[in-house]
Amino acid sequence: MPRGAAPRVSSLADWQVSMAGWPTMTLVQVSRALSERVSALEFKSPVAYVYNPLAYARAPHEAYLKRYGKPPKRALLLGMNPGPFGMAQTGVPFGDVTMVRDFLSVTGVVGKPEREHPKRAITGFDCKRSEVSGSRLWGFAQSRFQTAARFFEAFFVANYCPLVFMDEGGRNLTPDKLPKAEQVPLFLACDEALQRTVDKLQPELVIGVGAFARDRASRALPNFTGKIGMVLHPSPASPKANRNWAAIAEQELQALGAL
């Protein structure tokens, strides 16, 4: 077993026991361990393609972790999983290319997933498509804090699940739509990574960006002594989010005490 790695466990209770006495892992170690575990999982139809940006976009992903993942944080903002034009391209959560490159100042070589859907090509920082959710979230951070350094003094942004799922036609499939038998090992690995991330960053708040992330955080962190809350997801699929998401999110963050 690699030094500092947690033993494999089959339930949250087992995992909590396994945490005792294990050293705090760096965020890079957490990422690599999670990447290895989820890469070994198998998914059946309707999932036809699985992208793991922790592997093929490791360089910018780990650059993001090293630059901005210094503890402690006031709040951890937790997303669901990568978007096809965001983290899938850049390795950064909510990783709209323009915002990652110009606001976060993160770049790096991005490779290719093992199997690539022809309609969902990975072109890394050459991707011309914008991820609306990412441009909204990081745009809010830029507007409110002016610089990435000031934002990350108090906040960190992560995704609960690192994988992108697509059907044969290239349609995005979210983790909550997977069969229960496939969710269990995936969520166990993601729960462990989230626990390790919280252990490292020591946030006062864990804030789900959307209900799924909030609910998963509540399940994964039963002994968390801070507050778990939620802000509206910035997805353009949400009519409410399309009506000035930044103003709504600021109000919600204020109500949680994050600002």
According to CATH, the topology of domain 32-256 is Uracil-DNA Glycosylase, subunit E (3.40.470)
Strand segments, DSSP code E, in 30-129 are: 49-51, 75-79
Angle between helices 27-39 and 58-68 in degrees, nearest 10: 150
Please report the pLDDT score of residue 22 as a whole number: 57
Question: Residue 173 above 90 pLDDT?
Answer: yes
- Confidence band, pLDDT 50/70/90 cuts, at residue 190: very high
List pLDDT tens digits, range 27-82. 999 999 999 999 999 999 999 999 999 999 999 999 999 999 999 999 999 999 99
List pLDDT tens digits, range 68-105. 999 999 999 999 999 999 999 999 999 999 999 999 99
Domain-wise residue ranges, the chain = 32-256
Radius of gyration of the chain (CA): 17
> Can the peptide bond before residue 46 be classed as cis, meaning omega within 30 degrees of 0?
yes
